Amino acid sequence: MARLDGKVALITGIGGGMGREAARRFAAEGAEVVGCDLFEDGLNETVRIVREAGGEITGHAPVNLADATEAERWVDEAAAVYGGFDILYNNASTQRFGAIDEISVEDWNFTIDNELNLVFYTVRAAWKHLRARGGGSIVNIGSIAGTRGVEFMPQNAHGSAKAGVINLTQQLAVEGAPHRIRAVSVSPGFIVTPATRFLVKDPPPAFRKNIERIPLGRVGQPEDIVNAALFFASDEASWITGVNLVVDGGGTVLG
Ligand SMILES: NC(=O)c1ccc[n+]([C@@H]2O[C@H](COP(=O)([O-])OP(=O)(O)OC[C@H]3O[C@@H](n4cnc5c(N)ncnc54)[C@H](O)[C@@H]3O)[C@@H](O)[C@H]2O)c1
């Protein structure tokens, strides 16, 4: 039996990067996947890859999850297609960067909308469906940016939003437990995806130093994160809730 047999999984931001890998892997492990993305081309490519491999997937795009109404519509439609769902995997995010005295209020709010509020919107919409199902699991993607500062990137809004995601997850674990809803966050270190490839190609010196110090000796790949998310979403993690798992090759334990 595959690890997600019989489960329906909603995954956000499947158009590329870790979301694409999550859709591919969750389907390969037996889940029926319902994905969404802002962009149709990337989403269609993911749907093609999953189906060609024999997986079951439905995709919706364009869906802007930073809009509460669109987020709720996607969740409700997904629930209607499969008669409910078991897993909500909040992967999607977009962020804008700027030094604290330069970032505009608009860019700050955009980042909070597209990294934190979108998680609130999908969870809020999913809650009644998960309760009706008798429980389920929520996997939120945080970041090591949510627990510390860095020199190579003015990540004030991004870090604040991800700290919010990590803390929201803890609260969801408490509010969800009576309904058998588990909630965990996975916080990646540096992972090579379309969003970060530019940094690998031309690393600023402070960033290069960070990468070279990773104890396990390499940067992360999307599957490093999806491996953890898959475990948490499966029944193997049925007594785990509220944790934030850092997956970063050991980088953040260095002083
Ligand atoms: N790549 C890293 O090094 C890294 C490190 C820490 C955390 N993360 C987090 O991991 C997750 C995945 O990152 P990635 O590098 O694969 O990103 P990515 O940009 O490659 O993919 C994100 C996907 O989400 C979609 N998306 C963004 N905003 C959306 C919205 N409002 N509505 C619907 N879809 C939307 C994008 O179109 C894209 O397809 C994100 O939450 C990110 O913050 C990434």
Check: CB of residue 76 under 8 Å from CB of residue 54: no
CA distances from 194 to 18, 66, 172, 233 (A): 9, 20, 30, 25
The helix or strand, by DSSP H or E, that contains position 172, with its residue range, turns out to be: helix 156-176
Shortest-distance atom of ligand 1 to CA 16? 39
Q: How far apart are CA 211 and CA 189, in angstroms?
A: 10
Q: What residues does 11 pair with on adjacent strands?
A: 35, 89
CA distances from 6 to 82, 162, 234, 235 (A): 11, 31, 11, 11
Residue 173 Cβ contacting ligand 1 at under 6 Å: no
Q: Whose CA is nearest to atom 19 of ligand 1?
A: 195
pLDDT at 151: 85
Amino acid (one-letter) located at 100: I
Q: Whose CA is nearest to atom 23 of ligand 1?
A: 13
- With a cut of 70, list the residues of the chain below it in pLDDT: none
Classify 245 as helix, strand or coil.
strand
Residue 18 Cβ contacting ligand 1 at under 6 Å: yes
Q: 135: burial class by Cβ within 10 Å (0-12, 13-18, 19+)?
A: middle
Check: CB of residue 14 under 8 Å from CB of residue 26: no
Q: Cβ contacts of residue 235 below 8 Å, gap of 6+?
A: none
pLDDT at 199: 86
pLDDT at 210: 87
Q: Whose CA is nearest to atom 2 of ligand 1?
A: 191
Q: Whose CA is nearest to atom 37 of ligand 1?
A: 38
Distance of CA 119 to the CA centre of its chain: 9
Measured in angstroms, how far is the CA atom of residue 201 from the centroid of ligand 1? 19
Q: How far apart are CA 209 and CA 57, in angstroms?
A: 40
C-alpha torsion 131→186→98→199, nearest 10: -140
pLDDT at 251: 94
Q: Whose CA is nearest to atom 25 of ligand 1?
A: 13
Residue 91 Cβ contacting ligand 1 at under 6 Å: yes
Check: CB of residue 182 under 8 Å from CB of residue 241: yes
Shortest-distance atom of ligand 1 to CA 18? 16
Q: How far apart are CA 35 and CA 25, in angstroms?
A: 13
Residue 22 Cβ contacting ligand 1 at under 6 Å: no
Amino acid (one-letter) located at 124: R
pLDDT at 228: 98
Shortest-distance atom of ligand 1 to CA 191? 3
pTM of the model: 0.98
